Every structure is written in C-alpha cells, then in structure tokens.
Structure 1
Amino acid sequence: MKIKEITDCIETLAPLSYAEDFDNVGLLVGDAQTKVTGVLVTLDTLEATVDEAIENKCNLIVSFHPIIFSGLKKLNGATYVERVVLKAIKNDIAIYATHTALDNSFDGVNAKICEVLGLTQREILIPQKNTIKKLTTYVPTNALEQVRNHLFEQGAGSIGNYDHCSFTNLGTGTYKGNENSNPTIGEKGKLHTEEEVQLHVTFPKHLEGKIIKALLASHPYEEVAYEVSLLENKNQHIGMGMVAELETPMATEEFLALVKSKMNVSCIKHSAIINSQIKRVAVLGGSGSFATSYAIAKKADVYLSADFKYHDFYKAEGKILLADIGHYESEQFTKNLLVDFLTEKFCNFAIILSNIHTNPIYYS
C-alpha cells in the first residue's frame, strides 16, 4: 500500500479543499508513491514523535497540526520545526497534516468533542461559503436517466440534508459535425435537431473531478457541452464549530464538572455564570474566540473553546457562558478519531496511536 492510498482515504473524511486559506495541510514531507510500513497518528509532530515512528517502524506520520505552517527559508536544525523535518527526511518518514480540513468536517474535531460530552442533534456553527457548485449540461431525452443516475452515484445532487436533487428543462438542441467528427446521434456534415433536456445538479466542490468524469463517461455525445458555476448557498455540513444539545438540561456547575471530567481538564476559565441550567452547547476545537458572536446567534447557553484573551470574555455580554478549556485539551481526542477511522478502513494494517504527550502547556 502506498502513502497516497492512506491520504486519499483521509481526504474522504476531511477534503483538503475545505481547509482554511491560511492553513498548510496535506503531505508536507515525503513521496506519495512510497510504500507504507506503518502509520503513526499524532496531534503534533515533534522530534520525539519521529523517534516513536522509527521505533514502531512507521514511515508515515498522520498529524493533526502541520509541523510546517509558514514557509521555511532554511533547513539547518536551528528550530524545532527544522529539526523535525530534517529527522523525518533522514529516516524516510513522511508527514501528513489535516488541521482545519478536519476542523471543518462534519465528522471531524468538533463532532468528536460532541461525542465525548454526549451531545446530540449536531449542526455546524459557522457554515463554510463557496463549497457548493452546480453542473449544467444538455442531454438527449432518452439518455437523461442514465446520465443523471450516474452523476448521483458519484455524489452529485446533494445539498444540505437532501440528495438526488436535480432540475430539468425540455428544449431543442442543434449541431452539425465537421469532417473530423464522429457523432453518436445524427450524421457528420448534416445539421441535426435533437430533443434535449437541460439538466442541473449540485455537488460539493471537492467532487468536481469525479462529477465531470462521470458526466463524460455516461453522456452519449462525442462532445459534451457543460458548465460549472459556484452557488451562494452555505454548506450546512461543512464549517467551523458545532452546536448540539444535552439530552437532559444540567445545572451549570454540574455541566462544568462534566466537562472537566470528560475532557481531562483540571480547571476551566469562564465568564460570569448567567444561567442556572445548560441545554444548548456550542463547541469549537482550538482557538475559537472569533466565533463567540456565532454561538450567541445560535442561542447556545455555553460556548466551549480555547485561547480566549482577557477582553474576549467581555464579549459574553450576559448572553452566554464562555468556557476556555485549553487548546490541547479541546483537540486531544482528534488523534483517537483518526485512528478509529483508519483502523476501520484498513483493518489489516498497522495504525498506531502516538503515546507522546505533546501539550506544551503545564499547570501547577
């Protein structure tokens, strides 16, 4: 099995096209065509992580955070980033990072937090824009079902909580092939008139290559006319953060105690307690102070995230409980999520959960 097979599988869970623009995701070190001896899954890639991979004969590290975030201008081992990259290269170890691609996945980082806390009825906190596209093409009426069903099989026709969505207009198409043409309907050199259907289907942008390939494979014409446009709709299944609910409301102090227990935190920084009970919970793994207004707009009782600064807590404005549980703590179960996912997909292959504790923050 090659590295590309592993990373292609990960990208069905967290397509790289949904990562934030500032991010650096994908295969950061190594050759995608290298045969895999084992996979080590970690939250961060440190020198100790590379040593762990060497010890376990793993030549692919799947990391949540990217070790290379901004451009490297030199590679001489002066920083921990350079030392990690050098050690990985010297030992033929590839490094792949998912980061905000997995943050934005409906079954990613925030879904795992919801699972750990027992939250249900999940929905995206900040749906991502510019992720839904529309294909328009023109099909002979007798080939409509063939083409449409083939597109559906490849993931077209989905929008929000609906699938098999399409729209058609009946019309008349004309064409005349030149001497080099080989028309499947009509004759070269003769003007042909055909009853056609204008077919519209939506699709997630990361599937564009598959959708176009399916169209060309199923369409009867030698030359297929089509166009792809970007829709304004927000994708309800892709985006930052989540809002979910407790099955039964809990007293605020009881809920905070639950968070400390389930998320393995010794303390929680939070704003003033304003509600006696918690029912609706917003979560966002990692640095999430930017999303406070979205959590308030979604009428969450509490917003769990990390890296709130002093003045960020004022943004609660008596409308929500803001709770900072720590950056590492909010993302710590991400590597478990990836191990479970890969183990299910590659059950006869070594997928190892890193034992290295990578949190750089300590509490006394």
Structure 2
Amino acid sequence: MTVKEIASVLEELAPLAHAEDFDNVGLLVGDPNQKVSGVLVTLDTLESVVDEAIEKNCNLIVSFHPIIFKGLKKITGRNYVERVVLKAIANNISIYSMHTALDNSNLGVNAKICEVLGIQNPKILIPKHGTIKKLTTYAPLKQAEAIKKALFNAGAGSIGNYSDCSFGTEGRGSFKPGEGTNPNTGKVGELHYEREEQIHVIYSFEKEKKILQALFQAHPYEEVAYEINTLENPNQDIGMGMIGMLETAIDEKEFLKQVKQRMKASVVRHSQLLDKKVNKVAVLGGSGAFAIAAAKAAGANVFITSDIKYHEFFQAENQMVIADIGHFETEQFTKDLLVDYLIKKIPNFAISLSESITNPIKYL
C-alpha cells in the first residue's frame, strides 16, 4: 500500500475536513505515492520515535499530534521539530498527523476515554455547526428513484442512525434547449414541460464532491439543476468532547480514584467536591477549559479534561466537579485506538504501536 492509500483509510475514521481551522493535519512529511513497508503509531513524533521507526522498518509514522504546527522558514536542526523533520526526510520516513480531526470524530479520542472509563451511550458534547448541507435537485419522475439511490450510495441522506433520508415534491419543470444542446428529452428550440420530482437530501460537508459526482453521473439531463445550502443544525456526529452515563451512580471520591487508576494518572487536580453521586460524566481529551460551560449546561456531575488554569477551576461554581488528569493522560490511549482500527481495516499489514513514552511532563 502507499502512504496515500493508508491516509484514505485513516480519513474514513477522521476526515481531515473535520479538523479545526488552526490545526495542521494530514501528510506533513513525505511522498504520498511512497510504498509503505510498515506503520508506526504514536502520540507525538519525537526523534526517539523516528529512531524506533527506523529500527522497526516502518517508513510511515501516524502521529496524533502534528510535529509541524507553525510554518518552518528554515530546517537546520536547531530545535527538536527541525531535527525530527531532517531525520525523517533523511530516512525516507513519512509523517501523517490526525489531531483535531480525530478529536472531532465520534469514534475518536473522546470515545476511547469513554470506553476506558465505562461511560455508556456517549454523545458529542459540543456538536459542530455549519457542517451539514442540503442538496436540492430536480429529476424526471421515471429517474428520480435511481438518482436518490446514487446520492444515498455516495453518503447523502444520513441523519443519526437513519440512512436513505430524503424529501420529494412532484411538480412540472420547463426548459427550452438552445442551439448546440443535446437534450435527453424535448427538442432544440421548443419549450418543453416535464413531470419532475424536487429532491432534498442532507449530507456532511466533506462528502460534497463525491455526492455531486454521483448526481451528475446518475442524472439524465445534459444540464443538471441543483442548489446547495449550508444548514445551522448541529452535527451530532462531529464535535468536541463527549458526555454519557455511568452504569451505576458512584461516590465522587471513589469515581476520581477509578479515573486515576484507569487513566494511569499520577495526579488528579480537581475543583471542590460536592458530596454528590456521580452518574453523568463529560470528557474532553487535551486542553478542555473551553468546554466547561458546555459540560455544566449538559448536566455533567464531573468533567474530565486537562490543562485547567487556576481561575478556570472557579467556573465549576459548585455545579459539577472539574477534574484535570493531565494532557498526555487524556490522550494516551489514542494510539491504541488507531492501531486497533488499522489492524481491522488492513489486516496482514505491519502495524506497530510505538513503545516510546513521549509525555514531556514528569512528576516527583
């Protein structure tokens, strides 16, 4: 397989279009057409990880965090980022990053945290807006069902766990083919009326190119009339954080002890305990202070995240407990998620879990 082919598999899980605007995701170093001898999955791409890839004969590193985040004006080896890039290029190793594309996936970072902590039926905590689009087109009645089927096969018409969703209205369309046209029906220079169905389907924005290709291929008309609108409906399948329920309500202290043990956290920094049972938990891997208000509004008893500053703990306002377990600790199981996913998708291929510990924070 090539780097590009493996990237396509990864983008089925976390489309790059779902990443935040500030992020730097996708292929950061390397040739997309290079044949892959093996894949090494890591949280961070450090020099030790590149050395590990060389040792294991892996010429593709799939990393959660991007080693190149800001623009590089020079690559001279003066810092750890430049040294990683130089070593990767020198050894023909490609580096691919997923970061917030995987953060925003409903099967990504936060779903893995929920799995580890036994949080059931998790839902997106902060759904993305502006990512759902609606396609409206017009089709002859005889071809309408075939066109809808083509659109569904391309990914249109999915709402939550429902698929093949559409709405249609029958009406009468008109058109007059001009000189040089080759109409499927009607005659050049004559006004023609056709019984048509107005078809509406929604879709996630990253599928637009594929859906339009399917529309043009399935539609009998030489010129296909269609319109696209962006909806403000929240996308329940894309967004930051997750919230769900514990199977059994549990004491706050006991729950935090479980979190510390299961998430392999050295320290749990938390706001004032409220002497209440915990049954609804919100999680957000990485820096999650921006989601405190959303977790409170969703009725979470505990919000698990990292990188909370002193004054941000006050935002709990005795409505929930904020628990900061560490940045690395919230994301450490991400590489296990990716290895399991790749092995399932491309069995009998060399997929390795990095053994390098990349957490830069140490505890005394």
Interval containing the TM-score (normalised by the shorter chain): over 0.9
| Gaps in structure 2 of 5+ consecutive residues | none
Secondary structure, in 3 states, of the residue corresponding to 2:261? helix
1:226 corresponding residue in structure 2? 226
- AA of the residue aligned to 2:68: I
Secondary structure, in 3 states, of the residue corresponding to 1:115? helix
Secondary structure, in 3 states, of the residue corresponding to 1:113? helix
Aligned-residue offset at 1:186: 2.2
Aligned-residue offset at 1:197: 1.1
| Gaps in structure 1 of 5+ consecutive residues | none
Counterparts of 1:275 and 1:3 in 2: how far apart (Å)?
Answer: 52
Counterparts of 2:44 and 2:318 in 1: how far apart (Å)?
Answer: 36
In 2, are the aligned partners of 1:270 and 1:313 still within 8 Å (CA)?
Answer: yes
- AA of the residue aligned to 1:245: M
**Identity of aligned pairs, percent?**
59
In 2, are the aligned partners of 1:159 and 1:235 still within 8 Å (CA)?
Answer: no
Q: Please, which moves more after superposition, 164-173 or 147-156?
A: 164-173
Q: Deviations over 1:88-140 (max 9, x none)?
A: 11111110000000000000000000000111011110001111001111100
1:253 corresponding residue in structure 2? 253
Matched, 1:20 2:23: no
Aligned-residue offset at 1:155: 1.3
2:303 corresponding residue in structure 1? 303
Aligned-residue offset at 1:161: 4.0
2:49 corresponding residue in structure 1? 49
Q: Deviations over 1:207-226 (max 9, x none)?
A: 10111011111111122111
Q: Deviations over 1:282-336 (max 9, x none)?
A: 0000000111010000000000000001111111100010000000000000000
Aligned-residue offset at 1:64: 0.1
1:5 corresponding residue in structure 2? 5
Counterparts of 2:181 and 2:37 in 1: how far apart (Å)?
Answer: 50
1:211 corresponding residue in structure 2? 211
In 2, are the aligned partners of 1:168 and 1:199 still within 8 Å (CA)?
Answer: yes
Secondary structure, in 3 states, of the residue corresponding to 2:279? strand
In 2, are the aligned partners of 1:275 and 1:301 still within 8 Å (CA)?
Answer: no
Counterparts of 2:219 and 2:275 in 1: how far apart (Å)?
Answer: 59
Counterparts of 2:17 and 2:83 in 1: how far apart (Å)?
Answer: 29
Counterparts of 2:237 and 2:162 in 1: how far apart (Å)?
Answer: 11
Q: Normalising by structure 2, what TM-score?
A: 0.98
2:116 corresponding residue in structure 1? 116
1:341 corresponding residue in structure 2? 341
- AA of the residue aligned to 1:185: T
Q: Deviations over 1:245-304 (max 9, x none)?
A: 110111111111111111011220001100331100000000001110100000000000
The equivalences for 1:59-78 within 5 A come to: 59-78=59-78
- AA of the residue aligned to 2:95: I
Aligned-residue offset at 1:227: 1.5
Aligned-residue offset at 1:49: 0.6
Q: Normalising by structure 1, what TM-score?
A: 0.98
- AA of the residue aligned to 1:338: L
Secondary structure, in 3 states, of the residue corresponding to 2:106? coil
Please provide the CA RMSD for this pair. 1.0
Matched, 1:200 2:200: yes
